[in-house]
Amino acid sequence: MRGIMRHGPRFSDTVMLLAQIMLHLSWNSTGHHNDANCKNRPEADTGMTQAVDVLIFAMEAGRYGPARLPQTLESAGLRVAALCPLDNVLSHTDHVSATYRLPSTRSGARLVRRLAAVVGECRPALVIPGDEQAVALLHHAIWENGDNGIDQTLRSLLLDSLGPADRLGAMLFKHETLALARRIGLAVPDGVLVGNAEDAVRAAERLTYPVFVKESFGWAGQGVYPCADSAAVVRAFVALEPSKSAVKAALRHAMGRDWYPAAQGITVQAGVAGRPAFYCALAWEGRMVGGFAGQPLRTAGPTGPSCEVRIGAHAAMANASERLIEALGCTGFIGFDFILPEGDLTATGVPVLIECNPRPIQTCHLGYRVGVDLVQALADLLRGGAVPDVPLEARSSLDVLLFPHACDAADLREGVVADVPMTDAGLMAYAARLALPPCDADCDLGLGADRKGGLRAA
Identify the pLDDT of residue 149. Answer: 56
**Overall average pLDDT of the 229-251 stretch:** 78
- Please, which pLDDT band fits residue 262 given cuts at 50, 70 and 90? low
Cα separation, 455 vs 448, in Å, equals: 14
DSSP string, 304-318: S-EEEEEEEB-HHHH
pLDDT tens for each residue of 145-156:
555 557 889 999
* Mean pLDDT to the nearest integer, 323-335: 98
Q: What's the CATH superfamily of 190-270?
A: ATP-grasp fold, A domain (3.30.1490.20)
Quick check: helix, strand or coil at residue 86?
coil
Asked which of 58-67, 178-187, 396-405 is least confident by mean pLDDT, the reply is 58-67
Per-residue pLDDT tens over the stretch 291-312 = 999 999 998 876 677 899 999 9
Predicted confidence band of residue 23 (pLDDT cuts 50, 70, 90): very low
Q: Can you tell me the distance from the alpha carbon of 3 to that of 19, in angstroms, rounded to the nearest whole number?
A: 14
Mean pLDDT of the chain: 83
Rounded Cα gap, residues 418 and 124, in angstroms:
31
How far is the C-alpha of 440 from the C-alpha of 433, rounded, in Å? 20
Q: Which amino acid type is present at position 211? A: V
Q: Are 407 and 432 in contact (CB under 8 A)?
A: yes
d(CA 314, CA 143): 36
User: Which of 46-50, 261-265, 451-455 shows the lowest per-residue confidence on average (mean pLDDT)?
Assistant: 451-455
- Protein fold of 275-442: D-amino Acid Aminotransferase; Chain A, domain 1 (3.30.470)
Q: Torsions phi, psi of 267, nearest 5?
A: -120, 140
The per-residue pLDDT for 22 is 47
Q: Where exactly are the structural domains of the chain? A: 39-162, 190-270, 275-442
Distance CA 74, CA 396 (A): 24
- Tell me: pLDDT of 234 over 50: yes
Rounded to whole angstroms, the Cα distance separating 305 from 82 reads 24
In CATH terms, the fold of domain 39-162 is: Rossmann fold (3.40.50)
Q: Which residue has the higher pLDDT, 439 or 49?
A: 439
pLDDT tens per residue, range 191-204: 989 989 999 999 99
Helix (H) or strand (E) holding 281: strand 275-284
pTM: 0.84
In angstroms, the CA 374 to CA 364 distance is: 7
| 151 phi and psi angles, rounded to 5 deg | -90, 175
Whole-angstrom Cα distance, residue 297 to residue 401?
Answer: 9
Cα pseudo-dihedral 441, 443, 444, 445, rounded to 10: -150
The answer to whether 209 and 228 have CB atoms below 8 angstroms apart is yes
Count Cα neighbours of 402 within 13 Å in the Cβ-side half-sphere: 30
